[in-house]
Structure 1
Amino acid sequence: MKRWMRTAAITLAVTGAAAGVAGGAVVYFGWYDISATSPHTIAVHHLMDTALSRGVKMRSADVEVPDLQGAERIQNGSRLYRAHCAQCHGGPGVAPQPYALGLNPTPAALVGTARTRSAAEIFWITRQGIKMTGMPAWRHRLADEEIWDVVAFMRVLPALTADEYRRGEDGQAPATRAPAPGGNLRAGNANAGRDALHQYMCVACHAIPGVPGAWNYVGPSLAGIADRPAIAGTLPHTPENMKRWLMSPDEIKPGTAMPNLGVSEQDAQDIAAFLQTLSESR
């Protein structure tokens, strides 16, 4: 290796190491301002925006977009948008709810998003959510067809005036499609179950091996739960009973502190499959 190349490589390595040490010190000693009352630095914003744009573009490349032109689909998307999206993102002439005004980073104005992102990208973001933004993964709460309805509405959203948007407020509950019958459920998937644990905030109350979450737990650890003979001290421990417990804890044990989180049957089956992997013998 030529001398100048070796010098350049050493210089880059030393510079990188110094930057890493400096960044670690900023975090470790609490110098970075993590309060929500001040924005991230411009550099952090650029880093997050680049990661978001590149990641979404790559992961949405294979998404097949259905026909989004139907009036019924757009109307249902409008209702779903008002029920689930407008609270944080607002709409033409409509501000977000007060609690959303303090979110950091600020939720995107979806009128602009609909102009700059493809339908596939909007679907992927809505379905999967985005880390470190407060944007949840709606695939655990809405069917894919409902998410496409929202995308269909967002495609027409930029063309709506404030009056036109307000006229769409018909006061009706969002039209939802019936969930797939139990016979159409796929087998429980442990990896999907581990992801679902985050979406239903199980990690806020329970220590779960291999799953990062809160540090102040109010419920028992789930370590070794696959070896326990009973669920909530009442049900024999089987995957089917675990699914029942996850979906309707109040019915299994009235007065339990375990809340009903509205876990879907498929998600309950996936979570039960993951919990079966938490054995002390594995």
Structure 2
Amino acid sequence: MRPRQRLIERIRKRLLIRLAVGLTGVVLAMAAGAAIFVFWGVYNVSALQQHTEPVYTVLTTALDRSISQRAEEIDVPPLDQPDMQARGLSHYRDQCVQCHGAPGVARHDVGKGMTPVPPNLAHTARNRTSAEIFWAIKHGIKMTGMPSWQFIFKDEEIWDIVAFMRQMAVLSPADYQAMAASVNDQPEEAEASRRFPNADRGRLAMYGYACIACHRVPGLVGPQADVGPPLAGIGSRRYIAGVLSNNSDNMVRWLRDPTQVDPLTAMPDLNVTEQDANDIAAYLETLK
């Protein structure tokens, strides 16, 4: 290599080293700033302290893009059937009005005080695709208060809600009241035929039924509150709640009706469906 080329190469390497050192310094400074921001409690978590406009814009953009990307592969069924809209109104009235309101119907107190404020879903129905609405209802949106409904409603019932929301987008308050008055509560349908237990879905159900609110569960992120016993090693324990032999059938029995097994237990009845209980039992069995 000629002297001139060697000189150029040395200069290039020095510049790369300085650039790397500079970038490392910037990253470390940002990490230190973030640590100070978090541990000194700089950020105000009050629900009355709204996000700043730049933060709100970034979060909204991230939410929009996340939902649209994940909804692209969803096949939308026909939604213009009056019976679907009627069933959807019944579900919406029971579960959605509290936070989102309806035409001429205000949100309940809990919906008024949330940050960010739950959107007006008549507006949402005009600005989002049916697939995007379905995805948001089924999966929920973290850090907004919007829960996942997939352990409460079947997919068909979620589509009923989407069908009603499409109709609600053009309803006046008087139209909504008239439609609501004409809709009787829908009778409960029999549970779908059982399929093989799915441990992966059972893991998700631990979030869906808020099990993590009371139990420490290995690998699941939650408040780590020891209200109930930690579930590490539950798959290897001899007994469930000190009462039942630990097997799949008894675990399902316990999950579905804990007070029938032990009237003194603090474990509440979470209305776990039979299939969800089987899935959760399959997941808990993996926690050896």
Q: Does TM, scored on the shorter chain, surpass 0.5?
A: yes
**AA in 2 matched with 1:47:** V
Give the CA RMSD over aligned residues. 2.1
Partner of 2:231: 222
Instruction: Give the whole-Å Cα distance in 2 for the aligned partners of 1:186 and 1:53.
Output: 34
Equivalent runs, 1:240-259 vs 2, <5 Å: 240-259=249-268
1:56 aligns with 2:67: yes
Residues 40-79 of structure 1 deviation map (CA, whole Å, 9 limit, x = unaligned):
2223322321221111111111111001011111111111
Q: 2:160 corresponds to which residue?
A: 149
Cα distance, 1:169 vs. partner? 2.5
Q: How far apart, CA to CA, are the structure 2 residues paired with 1:233 and 1:47?
A: 50
The worse-fitting range, judged by mean Cα deviation, of 224-233 and 1-10 is 1-10
Q: What TM-score, normalized by structure 2, do the two folds share?
A: 0.89
Normalised to the residue count of structure 1, the TM-score between the two structures is: 0.91
- Alignment match, 1:267: 276
Aligned counterpart, 2:172: 161
Does residue 121 of structure 2 align to residue 114 of structure 1?
no
Tell me how far 1:171 sits from its aligned partner: 8.0
Match of residue 137, structure 1, among 143, 148, 151: 148
Extract unaligned runs of 5+ from structure 2: 1-8
Percent of paired sites with the same residue: 42
Kept in 1, the 8 Å contact 2:67–2:136? The answer is yes
| Aligned counterparts of 1:151 and 1:158: Cα–Cα separation in 2 | 11
1:177-196 correspondence runs (5 A) = 178-181=189-192, 184-196=193-205
| Change in CA separation of 1:203 and 1:171 when aligned onto 2, cut-off 3 Å | farther
Q: Which stretch shows the higher mean deviation, 9-18 or 44-53? A: 9-18
**How big is each residue's C-alpha offset from its partner over 1:89-137, in whole Å with a ceiling of 9 and x where there is no partner?**
0011211001211111110111111011100000000011010011111
Structure 1 residues 88 and 51, CA, compared in 2 at 3 Å: closer, same or farther?
same
- Secondary structure, counterpart of 2:150 in structure 1: helix
Q: Within the alignment, does 1:26 sit opposite 2:37 as a pair?
A: yes
- Which letter maps to 1:64? D
Query: Are 2:86 and 2:183, in contact at CA under 8 Å, matched by a contact in 1?
Result: no
Paired residue secondary structure (1:139): coil
Equivalent residue number for residue 200 of structure 1: 209
Structure 1 or 2, whichever has the larger Rg, is 2
C-alpha distance 8-53 of structure 1, shift in aligned 2 (>3 A): farther
